[in-house]
Structure 1
Amino acid sequence: MSDKIRYIREVCVAMIDVPYLYVNLTALCCYIFIFVTFLAAKKNPDIKYFIVVMGGFILWTGGSILMRLRVFPGITFWFLVSIMSLFALAFLIFLFISSFARLKGFFLKAVLAGLTFLLEILTALGLILDAPSMLVREDGGIVFVYDIGWPILFPCLFFLFYIITMVFVFRHIIKEKGMSTPGLVYIIMGCCAVLLGNMLQLIPGNVFPWDTLSGIIFAFLLMWALYKKRMFQMRLLISRSVVLMIGALLCILAAAYFIQPLSVFLDVHYNLSGSAITTIVAVLFSMVITAVFVMLKKLIDALFTREEQQNRLLKRFSTEVSQSLNTGEVMRKLIGIIKEEVPVGCVYVCLPEDNVFMASYSSEQLVKKRFSISADNPCVKYLRANGQYLLLSDFRKDPLYLSIWKSEKELFQRLSLSCIFALKDGDNIVGLILLSDKEKGVNFSYTELNFLETVSSIASIAVKNAGLYEQMYRE
């Protein structure tokens, strides 16, 4: 037992001696928080690659921290974990950017994977860089000194090749989709931050972990890029459990930093007995906990009430349309639930008719608008291949938008359309939901798009069932 206590004491002393260790610890906590949070997100290729990138950051930073603390099995082991994770991160980030921008390039990925694997093997064999030696400074602080030789040119050329590749990738994305591609500017900013942080790290005599700090900035910019692309909702980061955890941490910090000073203050200035001091501190601390609980309860109610309301609406809508075998009734309920939850100007539903999608239902009952969208419209092709909805503000940056007929572009402008949802039966589109601009011109949120996706899925099944019944009735 004494050996374990001595070992823990040495680790604690090491935490004090290592300069700026709090930066690394803060980075590690941020990475773990983001990693665990996104494990609960709705998975798609972008989210999966982002989770893998965060795993690489955790290994890189965690290995660096454990190396500096001289934790078992030793400096060399944790150095290899950290440096090999850093080399792998370049390839993982490239995979994330390729997925984000929908780039193919299998040959380029294979080449980069081969180069990364070769560098990892050379690093594991100790041919690139040896583990650092520990040096105690005059003020008692501990720094790690690397013996850098000519083999370091290999990772330098490796990263230079990645930088050139990234520049060409970003150039291709900007040329094809424009600089206003959702989230692109934040990825570019994140890559520049990492590059700048690692350049500052090379300044002679520098001991501040600029590379780790830039990693924090990079991770949050990548996360913001995913949010701008509407891959997840920000409320995912502040779930009920996270809010309660923050409240618990606030109470622990209050206990750690205020109870003892408050007890000393009461003893010195008022000369109270031990029992009186304990009672006063307990009452005040109870008041603090109560105040924190009330504030957190209000915060939770504000954050999650809308989700509960949406769940009630979806349950009611699903029950009502499942009991109806009339297409018109299903469409009216569909328009009703959209207008009730999403503040859009107008809702149109177009159903297939003679190789076009004809406007059959509208939320504007007094204004009859008859128009059609051809079945081979680029918007329909995009929906058939890429998902359940498209935002016209994003679709205008896609090359497919250029092939839309001028008359249909004018139709979209006249109707002030901003979003199109597809009613799908497998790979077939059995209807289109056209949504005009939202009130006050604000963008659709992730929560609203997720709600509309669910509504569209429910309506698709109801339309299919109603259509089969009506066909059997006619026969």
Structure 2
Amino acid sequence: MNGYSIVSLISLCCYLLMFTTFLAARKSQRIVRSFLVLLAFMILWSWGSLFMRTEQFPSPYFWHQVSIFGLLMLPAGYYSFFGDFVGVYNTRRRLFWRIVFLALFVVNYFTEFMIPLPEITHQGSNVIFQYHYTNWIYLVFFLMLLVAGDIAWMVMAKRKKDPQIMVTLRPLILGICILFLGHFLSTIPFFLGVPMDIVSGVLNAMFFIYALYKKQIFRVTMLISKENCYLISLFFGILLLSNVGLSLQRWLSISYHLEPHEILVIVGIGMILLTIVLYFLLNSFLNNFFLQDEQMQSSALADYSSQVTQLLRVREVFETLNTLVQNTLKNWSVIGFCLGQDQMIRMAYSSNPLDAFDLHLDKEHPLVLYLNEVKTISRWEDFKKTSLYRGVWENEKQIFASMRVQFVAPLFSENHLIGILFFNSTQDQKPLQKDIAFLQSILAVTSVALNNAQKYERAYMEARMDEDTGVYNRKYFHELLEEKYNEYKDSSLALAIANLDDFRLYNQLYGQKEGDLVLRVVAHLLKTAVADQGYVARIAGKEFGVILPGYDILSAKTLMEKVLEQLQSKDGLMPFVGHVTFSAGVCASPYLAGSCRELLSNTEMAVSGVKRSGKNGVQMYSEEIRTRMTTKAGHHSQYDMYASTIYALTAAIDAKDHYTFSHSQNVAYYAKSLAHEMHLSEELENMVYEAGLLHDIGKIGISEYILNKPGRLNSEEYEEMKRHVENAVDIIRHLPAMEYVVPAVISHHERYDGTGYPRRLKGEDIPLLGRILCVVDSFDAMISKRSYKKAMSVYEALQILDEQAGRQFDPHCVDAFIRMIQESRLQIRYSNQDTERE
């Protein structure tokens, strides 16, 4: 047996394996019968080729004609198969192509015009078969192309009705292309004698097997049955020994001088051993290449059980379940409904992100009653046939229809319905009974996992709720703000903060109980106004934060004004006894805030602006927008109220550090001028001016020795010096109406590159007023004489500011400050004091 005969032998074994497999399949299906006919033609083609190449009885030319008959009948077989595969049954055309190719075989048998007899050459023990084709061979290819065109027309007509048909046809089309290419290559002189057509035929059949498996016409387990493996192994062994038997007999007789009966025993034992070896090799190959359905589903279920029981989110449970279903049942998907804290069952997951079904089921809903009765997976059609289905609302029936539900399954925990699964198919594919049994087997595992996830999520949310008011707490507010900022950074996200006015005094006048009631009322009003379009949180004792995804700043301001109006309404019949107002600030990203921190800082700054200007109002962060709106008048700085206190504090510092007082005056002047240069509002100019006066007020708590030390500070002394920032904030907090300067004061030693103190903020996360203070504070320190350094010139100081832009300082602030000085629009102030240390 030469090498090319081995190719024919392998192809014949493959076809026989497929044929015996499909003999055990559902032959009542037309597609199975047509595929069996197609395989029969392939078997004739390969069988004839093998027996021709091994010169079996009666002659190679007889087997050549058998092979050609199988080959020429293949196009007609393919046409019938494709018709059954796509569901087009045109009997006349099928008969036409069968007659055409049968006639073609008859003509070729008598004329040999198209496919001549092979030229047989003997080279020692090898036999070479060569075909010398004429141009008439292309007539066969032309007719094959006509069949292919007819098949394409049939498929395109079907595609108009079923656009998904091309997905299932892809492996068939690829197999046909490979088969056609193999036959074409066999006509080229370079491949003379090489059975390219046989090899391409085997590959083509493999693709057809895959397509039928995807269409669930048969189960892969039929391929690896013991009967198939034994049959193919025995056939393969017989063919091998029949070709090497004579050579083996001659070798044993000459080399070992064995008698014929001894040789017969050895050959028989060899036959048995060879068959056993071939069986194990074939069985191992098929088991590794095709996982049995039962093993695959069992393994998938085991993996799913170990994975899903560790999940702590309801959505993750449903996502994992959907992945399992799609991997095992292919075109199937899951829609999951879950029981909520309000005892309503709502949609919690869908594989289609566009699904947003407005459907909620209570415990008396007909579907819930039905599932409590059947307690297992059920066909949707069975539910529609019950009297309960008549109690479903028409709009709900439309929703169910849009979901394309085919099966519905309940999820129970301790005999209580906690969820519902809807199974649908994207290709209207009907599952087999084994698939339904598989779905049934995953319900118990999913029920346990869903129950655990629901308990965890309840505990998770309880840990993130403020128990006094029923809204989110401060910790979850910051998590949620970060999450929503990232989600809506390309659209719009508004943030509002409402701070109750004089709440401490209210508690003192009416008691803690009344104060708690006020908090609950405000929380209720905010939650009602926001509904399901935002999130409300209590972020401090008397302060609420409202996150509004998709809102612009004007819409957010309007919402907060309505809440404030309801809070003060005489007709609102509010249960608290005193007069209650709040001061609210509003900001929105991305137009008014470049980061989450800046959004929060700007909103807090807007709240401070309302506090400073008389309280009881809502203010937007943007001055440009705010001035176009009707707002309350009389917004004046509260600095004058505490001027004497601040003066007394700075005087106390002056007794320890003579530089601080004049330095603070200079910084305040420079900061206000720089804010004006950067086109900030008059209100922000006043804020940064007052922050400049107060930014070093914390030095009252620093040791006089450190403040006036002439040499370099050691690490411990430097750490104590850095505490003056927190000291300043602690002092300002005792001046309630001056809280608006805290963001600027606490951040005036932060560096733009994130290496500053005390919070190591970076870039635009540093409040803008703090970045302004950082520039002017450093400039005044550099041009002033100190106990530990000489005064720099203005030119040197500006050069350092420019070099450190982007590292220590905000580049925009530096550019504006240098521009003012270069254009002589800023008066340089010098100090004669020399004892301050930064």
TM-score category of the 2 structures, normalised to the smaller one: 0.5 to 0.7
SS in 2 for 1:156: helix
Decide which of 101, 106, 131 is 2:91's aligned counterpart.
Answer: 106
1:412 is matched with which residue: 401, 421, 424? Answer: 401
Match of 2:40 in 1: 55
Written as runs of structure 1 = structure 2, the 5 A alignment for 1:412-431 is 412-414=401-403, 417-418=405-406
User: Higher relative contact order at CA 8 Å, sep ≥6: structure 1 or structure 2?
Assistant: 1
TM-fit CA distance, 1:235: 1.6
* Match status 1:22 vs 2:10: no
The answer to whether residue 215 in structure 2 is matched with residue 229 in structure 1 is yes
Per the alignment, do residues 115 and 436 of structure 1 end up closer, same or farther by CA in structure 2, a change over 3 Å counting? same
In 2, Cα distance between equivalents of 1:119 and 1:301: 43
Question: Residue 17 of structure 2 contacts residue 228 of structure 2 at CA under 8 Å; is this kept in 1?
Answer: no
Match of 1:41 among 11, 25, 39: 25
State the alpha-carbon separation in 2 of the partners of residues 83 and 54 from structure 1.
Answer: 15
CA distance in 2, matches of 1:215, 1:224: 14
Structure with more helix by fraction: 1
**C-alpha deviation, 1:80, in angstroms:** 0.5
- CA separation of 1:191 and 1:300: change in aligned 2, threshold 3 A: closer
Are residues 419 and 46 of structure 1, via their aligned partners in 2, closer, same or farther at CA, if it must alter by over 3 Å? farther
Q: Which has the larger radius of gyration?
A: 2
Shift of 1:105: 2.9
| Unpaired stretches in structure 1, ≥5 consecutive residues | 1-14, 253-284, 307-330, 352-356, 362-367, 374-405, 421-433, 453-475
Counterparts in 2 of 1:153 and 1:358: CA distance versus 1, 3 Å? closer
Q: Distance in 2 between matches of 1:449 and 1:86?
A: 39
1:241-291 Cα offsets, whole Å, 9 max, x none, are 447779999x99xxxxxxxxxxxxxxxxxxxxxxxxxxxxxxxx9xx99xx
* 1:197 matched to 2:182: yes
State how far apart, in whole Å, the 2-side matches of 1:89 and 1:211 are: 12
Q: Distance in 2 between matches of 1:87 and 1:247?
A: 29
Superimposed CA distance per residue, residues 80-114 of structure 1 (whole angstroms, 9 cap, x where no aligned partner): 10011100011011101011111133332233122
Matched to 1:226, the amino acid is: L
Shift of 1:180: 4.5
Q: Deviations over 1:217-259 (max 9, x none)?
A: 211211111111121122222235447779999x99xxxxxxx
On the 8 A contact 2:72/2:102 being kept in 1, the answer is no
Q: Tell me if 1:64 matches 2:49.
A: yes
Q: Any idea what SS the aligned residue of 2:56 has?
A: coil
Equivalent-residue separation in structure 1 for 2:158 and 2:171 (angstroms)? 14
Question: What is the identity, as a one-letter code, of the residue corresponding to 2:220?
Answer: M
Distance 2:430 2:293 in 1: 22
Match of 2:117 in 1: 131
Do 2:12 and 2:43's aligned partners in 1 also have CA atoms closer than 8 Å?
yes
> What does residue 424 of structure 1 align with?
none
Amino acid at match of 1:116: F
Q: Give deviations 1:410-467, integer Å, cap 9, x for gaps.
A: 32345x61459xxxxxxxxxxxxx993289xxx9764525879xxxxxxxxxxxxxxx
CA 141–241 in structure 1, closer or farther in 2 if over 3 Å, else same: closer
TM-superposed deviation, 1:333: 12
| 1:219 matched residue in structure 2 | 205
Letter in 1 for 2:405: L
Matched AA of 1:103: V
Secondary structure of the residue that 2:117 maps to in structure 1?
coil
Report the Cα offset of residue 214 of structure 1. Answer: 1.4
Q: 1:77 to 1:304 in 2, by over 3 A?
A: same
Q: Which runs of 5+ in 2 are unaligned?
A: 239-272, 299-369, 409-419, 439-838
8 Å Cα contact 1:61-1:82 kept in structure 2: yes
Aligned residue pairs: how many? Answer: 305
**1:128-148: CA deviation from partner (whole Å, max 9, x where unpaired):** 3332121245x8643222243
How far apart in 2 are the matches of 1:39 and 1:184?
A: 23
- Counterpart Cα distance in 2 of 1:358 and 1:111: 47
| 1:209-288 equivalence runs, <5 A | 209-242=195-228
- Deviations 1:187-208, CA, capped at 9 Å, x for gaps: 1111111112222222222143
Partners of 1:26 and 1:244 in 2: how far apart? 15
Q: Deviations over 1:358-416 (max 9, x none)?
A: 4447xxxxxx994499xxxxxxxxxxxxxxxxxxxxxxxxxxxxxxxx986632345x6
User: How far off its partner does 1:45 sit?
Assistant: 0.4
Distance 1:49 1:435 in 2: 38
Structure 1 distance, partners of 2:209, 2:166, is 15
In structure 2, the residue matched to 1:448 is 434
Closer, same or farther in 2 for the Cα pair 1:304/1:91, shift >3 Å?
same
What is the one-letter code of the residue matched to 1:417? V
Aligned equivalent of 1:158: 143
What one-letter code is carried by the residue in structure 1 that aligns with 2:401?
F
Distance in 2 separating the partners of 1:301 and 1:85: 33
1:63, 1:78 within 8 Å by CA — same for their partners in 2? yes
Change (3 A) 1:213 1:419: farther
Q: Could you say if the C-alpha distance between residues 438 and 103 of structure 1 is closer, same or farther in structure 2, counting changes exceeding 3 Å?
A: closer
Q: TM-score, normalised by structure 2?
A: 0.32
